[in-house]
Amino acid sequence: MTAGTAPNASAVATGLLVSDVDSTFLTQEVIELVAEHAGVRDRVEEITTAAMRGELDFSQSLRARVALLEGLEESVLAEVRAALVPTPGALELVRRAKDAGWVVALVSGGFHEVIDDLAAEAGIDHVRANRFEIVDGRFTGAVRGPIIDGTAKRRTLEELAERHGVPAQRIVAMGDGANDREMLLAAGTGIAFRAKPALREVADVTIDGESLLEAWQHLESAASR
């Protein structure tokens, strides 16, 4: 886990906002942007879609997608970072949450190498994601370290809640795919944002609009509990 502008752990936070990244905080799927540079985007998209519907084990699907990137030059990551598009309302939601005393975290099945800079610019307190294995400037086709799957997302939420002294009723979690189910169930308010059926069925709130700022009212509600 990396920390950006993390508040003092002894400070009392208003609440904890934990968001997925791909197709939630961002409009894109990071690994698909990388895969485009390798000429395998269509194949990666097929696997991603099946995984987000809950049809494939997430860890196995991620390894299969990353394996298709073997030999790609590390330099493409700068181009991918430059192409990131935050979801409408995402940065404003973070600004409002931070101003109101919330701790904000991104917990992603995506990759630190792509999202960390944007997270730092946005003032995100914590980021947890996967890491590409890169040797001699090229992708090996493997993931370095443990994979951030649905269980890891939930555990991260629980660890941050304990660290910042936030009770479950003042935790809001947002996501779009099956690998977000566990963390939405662990939160006081689970928000499915333009989500797959596998997540909608466990969410407390469903947002189908274009803007993530629609979640703000649910943060305000959680803060009053």
Dihedral, CA of residue 98, residue 151, residue 177 and residue 33, to nearest 10: 80
Annotated catalytic, 125?
no
Name, in order, each residue with C-beta under 8 angstroms of 129's C-beta and a sequence gap of 6 or more.
Answer: 21, 106, 107, 108, 109, 110, 111, 112, 115, 116, 148
Active site residue 42: no
User: Shortest CA distance to 30 belongs to which of 85, 70, 94?
Assistant: 85
Among 131, 132, 116, residue whose Cα is nearest residue 4: 116
Structure tokens at 38: 């390798």
Show which residues are catalytic: 20, 22
